[in-house]
Amino acid sequence: IKRIGVLTSGGDAPGMNMAIRAVVRAGVKAGIEVYGIYEGYKGLVEGNYKKLDPSDLDKRIPQGGTMLYSARLPEFENIEVRRVGVTKLKEAGIEAVVVIGGDGSYRGAKALSEMGIKCIGIPGTIDNDIVSTDYTIGFDTALNTAVEAIDRLRDTSHSHIRCNIVELMGRYCGDLSLYAGISTGCSIIVTKETGFDKEDVIKKVKDLHERGERHVIIAIAEKITNVIDLSEEVQERTGYKTNPMILGHIQRGGSPTAFDRVLASNMGVYAVKLLLEGVNSRCIGIRENKLVHYDIIEALDLPKEKNPLYDIVEDLS
């Protein structure tokens, strides 16, 4: 292999820049030219590529977001669109692509590898929703951002008698809510994995109030219910002043934590190593602190087990 590309796709995640840097550094060390493919699959199809110089990338280390930009391109499912992309890559002499992103990005990588472009997927998303890895790049940073925000809420909530309902991102995965909820002592955590029973939530808030808790914080994953309506109903039926807070995109920004930087560096170097070994159509994960790789599609179909941390939530509330 003489020339490879690297792209970021889907929602950006803190640490993506570090993964790009690692791919470039490891590639150049092995005598490979590394091209940045800008704006994900959109740039791949448009031929928006630029050779990356390792010495330019250090300034990106503390930066969130992705220096290669990201875009969602649903049209990439169309084989004709992909053919254009493959032709552009071949014209540029790019033989392999490292794709940093979530599950949608992996599907694109699989499709590309079936068309003769070697691909390796690196899990980059704040959602931690890729079953083939214990942690995705960006999850730890997003989690710490959420923890800081909820800690601030607790300060003010505790000074009064309040209930706060905090909505966290995660797409269809409850990990951000679960980990942030436990980290900040939320009495109630609602995710797809726990299921949502409105009556049960209202009863728990009332019980906690009657037990003498001055404040209750509920962590709830996005896409479960409308938290503004829920807050109004909780307030009405418990008599507890209740404020909704949607954390939103601030969870996606910010400087990556050391954990995410190390994870991204480890995975970026590993991706290049695998390509050099001739490995193709695989995605990288970390399991019990060891790097692993799976067939991309098998990885997406792995069953997700319920996180055992859900068992301690009740004991802590």
CA angle 179/183/188 to nearest 5° reads 75
The answer to whether residue 11 forms part of the interface with ligand F6P (CB under 6 A) is: yes
Complete DSSP assignment for 236-303: HHH--EEEEEE-GGGGG-SPPPHHHHHHHHHHHHHHHHHHHTT--SEEEEEETTEEEEEEHHHHHHSP
Residues of span 74-113 touching ligand F6P by CB under 6 A: 102
Q: Which residue in the list 53, 56, 58, 127 is annotated as catalytic? A: 127
The answer to whether residue 132 forms part of the interface with ligand F6P (CB under 6 A) is: no
CA distances from 157 to 132, 161, 184, 216, 245 (A): 38, 7, 13, 8, 12
Nearest of 94, 92, 100 to residue 120 by alpha carbon = 100
Residues of span 186-225 touching ligand F6P by CB under 6 A: 222
d(CA 297, CA 281): 9
Catalytic residue check, 155:
no
CB 55: neighbour CB atoms within 10 A? 10
Q: Cβ of residue 222: shortest distance to ligand F6P, in angstroms?
A: 6
In the bound state with ligand F6P, the residue whose beta carbon lies nearer, of 125 and 132, is 125
Q: Cβ of residue 192: shortest distance to ligand F6P, in angstroms?
A: 12
**Which range, of 22-30, 151-159, 165-173, 261-269, touches ligand F6P by CB under 6 A?**
165-173
**Cα distance between the two ends of the chain:** 55
Q: Cβ of residue 183: shortest distance to ligand F6P, in angstroms?
A: 18
What is the token pair recorded at 256?
A: 């990556």
For residue 83, what are the contacts with CB-CB under 8 A and spacing of at least 6? 115
What is the token pair recorded at 312?
A: 């301690």
Residues of span 221-240 touching ligand F6P by CB under 6 A: 222
List the one residue from 9, 70, 105, 125 that touches ligand F6P (CB under 6 A): 125
Tell whether residue 127 is among the known ligand binding residues: yes
List the one residue from 107, 162, 252, 261 that touches ligand F6P (CB under 6 A): 252
In the bound state with ligand F6P, the residue whose beta carbon lies nearer, of 105 and 265, is 105
In the bound state with ligand F6P, the residue whose beta carbon lies nearer, of 17 and 157, is 17
List the one residue from 131, 137, 166, 169 that touches ligand F6P (CB under 6 A): 169
Q: Cβ of residue 172: shortest distance to ligand F6P, in angstroms?
A: 8
What is the token pair recorded at 78?
A: 């169309």
Tell whether residue 22 is among the known ligand binding residues: yes
In the bound state with ligand F6P, the residue whose beta carbon lies nearer, of 98 and 146, is 146
d(CA 280, CA 178): 34
* Secondary structure E strands in the chain: 3-8, 33-37, 49-51, 96-101, 118-123, 162-168, 188-190, 215-221, 241-246, 282-287, 290-295
List the one residue from 127, 167, 175, 193 that touches ligand F6P (CB under 6 A): 127
Q: Cβ of residue 102: shortest distance to ligand F6P, in angstroms?
A: 6
List the one residue from 26, 57, 126, 296 that touches ligand F6P (CB under 6 A): 126
CB 65: neighbour CB atoms within 10 A? 17
Q: Cβ of residue 123: shortest distance to ligand F6P, in angstroms?
A: 11
Secondary structure of the chain: what % helix, strand, coil (to 5)?
Answer: 45, 20, 35
Give binding residues for Mg(2+) as ranges: 103
Active site (catalytic) residues: 127
Binding residues for ATP, by number, are 11, 72-73, 102-105
**What is the contact surface with ligand F6P in residues (CB under 6 A)?**
10-11, 102, 125-127, 169-171, 222, 252
